[in-house]
Amino acid sequence: MNIKAIPKLIRFEHGLMLSLAVLISIFLTVSEINWGNKVYILLALPFLIEAGAFALNDFFDVETDTINRKNRPIVKGEISKESAFIIGSGSLFIAIILSLLTENLLIINLTGFFAFFSVLYNWKLKDMPLMGNIYIGFSMAIPFLFGNLAFSNSIVPENFILFSMAFIVGVSREIIKTVEDYKGDRKARGSKTLPFYIGEKKSLMFAGSLIGVFILLGIYSFTMLKFSIFSGLLWLAALMYYMYLCFSIIYTKETLNFKSIKRYTLITMFLGLIAVLLTKFSI
């Protein structure tokens, strides 16, 4: 096994962003963080769940990746299927054990829920119309409630707006990825995802309309989050990219560059998270 391929297998950057989202939700919930074991566990849980989900995704999707993504570690022979399974299931198991240490029933249940559904998604949900997309959107959004609910029974409005935005953009991004992978998924897994029922173009139009809602929420968030000039400009830059993406999806008559969309949506999500984090420090 090539150790250097593990970050690629678990999509390290995705897990890091989810941990950052949890940190932001904690900042927005409590006035001062007591950096104890509880906080570190809360930051580790979404990372481990995401790592386990992605490793198992590659385990289940070898045939599909042979068609759609030939650069994946298992397809390239950098990691064996068995190793990916051990890394994936091991990450989920550790997450469940760590959640018990929080002694918070809600956190324990949420961890168990997402550990279970990360397996169910890779096995079956991703082959169904919208179900898999909704689950992924939910998994991208829940960190904004995860840290909040660990410290308070009431949801902070700022966390709820960020949760809503992350859910909507997550579903949209996954629909776009579903269109990209449609032919390979259909051939290798017999998937009947959204493009199977309404076509690729209408699926993209639906994704574009969701991005439109995301943009409106992003503009509204200026009234809730205490942006400085710098952090506000970062937030605005992220929104402007999504405005461009929405326009491209709805009006372009050319084939979309799916690889570019995945890269830049990830970058702009990170920029948005940094922008919100900077509001805590009035930067």
pLDDT of residue 254: 61
DSSP state for residue 224 in the 8-state scheme: T
Q: Which domain holds residue 33?
A: 3-280
Mean confidence (pLDDT) of the chain: 93
Q: How far are the Cα atoms of 120, 127, 221 from residue 195, in angstroms, in the given order?
A: 21, 11, 32
Q: Which of 31, 27, 5, 25 is nearest to 159 (CA)?
A: 25
pLDDT of residue 70: 87
Instruction: Render each residue's pLDDT in the chain as its tens digit; 283 residues.
Output: 788 899 999 999 999 999 999 999 999 999 888 888 899 999 999 999 999 999 999 999 898 889 888 889 999 999 999 999 999 999 999 999 999 999 999 999 999 999 999 999 999 999 998 999 999 999 999 999 999 999 999 999 999 999 999 999 999 999 999 999 898 888 888 899 999 999 999 999 999 999 999 999 999 999 999 999 999 999 999 999 999 999 988 887 567 888 899 899 999 999 999 999 999 888 8
Task: Please tell me the total count of domains within the chain.
Answer: 1
Name every residue whose Cβ is closer than 8 Å to that of residue 41 and which is 6 or more positions away in sequence: 98, 99, 101, 102
Distance of CA 117 to the CA centre of its chain: 14
Q: Judge contact between 204 and 176, C-beta under 8 A.
A: yes
Q: What is the CATH classification number for the domain harbouring 83?
A: 1.10.600
What are the tokens at 213? Answer: 């809602």
pTM of the model: 0.93
pLDDT of residue 256: 81
